[in-house]
Amino acid sequence: MTATPAALQFSEAELLGRVSSVDTSQVAVDVSNSVLLTRIGIGNLIAIKGSTEREFLIAITERVTRILSDALPDQLPADGEDLPLTAVPTDAVRGALIGTFRTVDGEKKNTFKRGADSFPQIDRECYVIEGANLQRFMGILGADYPPNERLKLGAFVADRTAEAIASGDKFFQRHAAILGSTGSGKSYAVALILERAAQLKYPNILVFDMHGEYAPLSDESKGGFASRLRIAGPGDLAQPADDALFLPYWLLNRDEMLSMILDRSDQNAPNQASRFTSHVRTLKERTLKAEGKDDVAQTFTVDSPVPYEIKDLLDLLNIDNTTKGVGKNGPVKGEWEDKLTRFISRMEAKLEDRRYGFMFSPPPPAIAYDWLAGQIAKLLGSNGGKGIKIIDFSEVPSDVLPVVTGTLARLLYDVQFWMAGRDRTPVTLLCDEAHLYLPVRDDADAVQRQALGAFERIAKEGRKYGFSLLVVSQRPSDVSRTILSQCNNFLSLRLTNDADQGVIKRLMPDSLAGLTSVLPLLDTGEALMLGDAVLLPSRIKLDLPTIVPDSATRDFWKDWGTQAPNVAALTKAVESLRSQTRK
């Protein structure tokens, strides 16, 4: 049996220099090989001899400098001549320590682990990892992941022959974020990850698609692997399509419902909230008694998802609002009389607005007690082998979008929470355009705060119950700090805005913050992969997905030169605008 050769084998020609200073996370190298210095860039790898011959500490270069200083010549001039000064270069490299490589580690050969077990010693030799050494080193990254855990994302920019492999388990189980400016390749990255997940037998990912751009992934004629649902639009109210998804009002908890209807500035707001709460509880109890669910009736709360007729709620509120009180000398003003008028008006306005039909005008079957279990099975089941579900939110009014996404996320999480642990299948919510409904809390209104509460709870507690988030956004500075801070993996594509780069920088360990300097320089389809799912923070070139999303950047100049505006299509679009449906 032949021994496994060491992955890192250095010659004297590859000696960069020696360690000149060390702190807890960074190392400075006094460079003696000025030729090698000219080949080093930011992000290159350096190997530093460890405490034994079999160990190297690995660092990523953050700074490369050459300083010219005046010095005396080696030989003194003859008598009477001036003493000349010569320019002497001082070369230095600063790097961030990221891990430890061992040629032999017990019974294992050529292993790399995150973190430095020891610190470099002053005057230790430092080598540049390039050429064959780089190929072999990149090849061992991810090699230890078993086949059923490997998530192939693309190739390393430093070595295009080496596959960039992440741990699929660690990527999904500890929350992740895909961030990048518009046009940087985010949608393609999402489609690639969904495509990789679709190769598994029972993936369970729900994609919150804000613009309908992932529809091609469900097109069977193109080899689509996902199933697709739409939040019902106005055109679905009379005859719901098979793919229309309704979220009836009775799924909303008390606070979510009140955030849409209650005006907190109204002096009667406490009375309105009180009567709403009392009547909803009464109507839900009535449904449970009618269904023979006496055991549930003993423990349910006003937030429990139990169906009731909203017209019955309006009738009860109207009775409160018009009932006179009884005094000593005859009728007097009732306790609730005229205090609920504005609340009732706001509720009736929501009922009459067809844009809210998916919530306030559901079809009759959606008022049945058994309807919810069927919907949950459709959303969290394998769906005939298509465990990836794309939910199109493109027809949902923007002002209610946070409540819709938050209600759906909370409902799915609650089901997962109450399920027996042994029966749970892990679930991931992919939140596209997250800045639209998961804003920074200080900027959120009452409606958005309800959605934030649901998602932040998932971010903090979801891992224990097999429920994770994959946040996608072009403006990370506008996304909830709480949610991003819980993400342990980042696939960061090109980011040109200082505020957005600053978010990534704050979320990274101080020792790796210098890597964010490459974010505005990344090419389309390139990304910086950071986090628990990869052993080494790496710049990678993402693979192209087989089925591309409907989000490609248009060629403005070429299209203006060849394509005339379609008047018939413009007319049709006006009618779609009027009817609020794309049918």
Model confidence, pTM: 0.85
As a whole number, mean pLDDT of residues 493-501 equals 88
- The confidence score (pLDDT) of residue 414 equals 92
Burial of 238 (0-12, 13-18, 19+ CB in 10 A): exposed
- Do 135 and 278 lie in one domain? The reply is no
Residue 52 and residue 19 share a domain: yes
31 located within any domain: yes
Decide if 157 is inside a domain: no
For 205-253, write each residue's pLDDT tens digit. Answer: 999 999 889 999 998 888 889 999 988 888 788 888 888 899 999 998 8
Looking at the structure, do residues 380 and 495 belong to the same domain, yes or no?
A: yes
Q: Are residues 105 and 173 in the same domain?
A: no
Cα 497 from Cα 492, distance rounded (Å): 13
Confirm whether 292 is domain-assigned.
Answer: yes
Q: Are 251 and 407 in contact (CB under 8 A)?
A: yes
* Sign of the four-CA dihedral 122, 128, 133, 134: positive
Per-residue pLDDT tens over the stretch 26-35: 899 998 888 8
CATH (domain of 465)? 3.40.50.300
> What tens digit of pLDDT does each residue of 155-205 get?
888 778 888 889 999 999 889 999 998 888 899 999 999 999 999 988 999
Higher per-residue pLDDT: 317 or 39: 317
Clarify whether residues 404 and 352 are in a common domain: no
pLDDT at 336: 83
Looking at the domain assignment, is residue 60 inside a domain?
Answer: yes
User: Residue 536, Cβ neighbours under 10 Å: how many?
Assistant: 20
535 found inside a domain? yes
Domain boundary among the residues 361, 384, 409 is at 361
- Please state, in angstroms and as integers, the Cα–Cα distance from residue 503 to each residue in 199, 514, 516, following that order: 33, 13, 10
Does residue 351 sit in the same domain as residue 392? Answer: no
pLDDT, residue 1, reads 42
Distance of alpha carbon 297 from alpha carbon 287, whole angstroms: 9
Task: Say if 1 falls within a structural domain.
Answer: no
Domain count, the chain: 3
Structure tokens belonging to residue 568: 């018939």
Q: Is 357 helix (H, G, I), strand (E, B) or coil?
A: helix
Q: Can you give the pLDDT at residue 389?
A: 94
The pLDDT value recorded for residue 473 is 93
541 and 393 in a common domain: yes
Confidence band, pLDDT 50/70/90 cuts, at residue 510:
low
Token pair of 576 as six digits: 């779609």
Looking at the fold, whether 213 and 292 belong to one and the same domain comes out as no
Confidence of residue 13 (pLDDT cuts 50, 70, 90): confident
- The SS3 assignment for 152 reads strand
Q: Taking residues 345-352, what's their average pLDDT?
A: 91
Examine the pLDDT at 509 and tell me if it is beyond 70.
no
Q: With pLDDT > 70 as the criterion, what percentage of the chain qualifies?
A: 94
pLDDT at 513: 66
Q: In terms of domains, do 419 and 539 share one? A: yes
Average pLDDT (465-488) is: 92
Give the per-residue pLDDT at 79: 64
Calculate Rg over the CA atoms of the chain. 31
327 and 392 belong to one structural domain: no
What band does 262 get if pLDDT is binned at 50, 70 and 90? confident
- Are 8 and 103 contacting, i.e. CB atoms less than 8 angstroms apart? yes
| pLDDT over 60 at 2, yes or no | no
Evaluate whether residue 516 is within a structural domain.
yes
Contact status, residue 438 vs residue 451, Cβ threshold 8 Å: yes
- The residue out of 307, 334, 361 marking a domain boundary is 361
Amino acid at 84: P
Does any domain span residue 545?
A: yes
Tell me if 169 sits within 8 A of 180, measured CB to CB.
no
Confidence at 390, pLDDT banded by 50, 70, 90: very high
Strands 55-71 and 45-49: antiparallel
Say yes or no to pLDDT of 329 above 90.
Answer: no
Which pLDDT score is estimated for 512? 67
The residue segments making up the domain with residue 254 are: 249-361
Question: Is 561 exposed, middle or buried, given 0-12, 13-18 or 19+ CB atoms closer than 10 A?
Answer: exposed
| Domain finish residue from 76, 106, 140 | 140
241 and 274 part of one domain = no
Q: Are residues 394 and 538 in the same domain?
A: yes
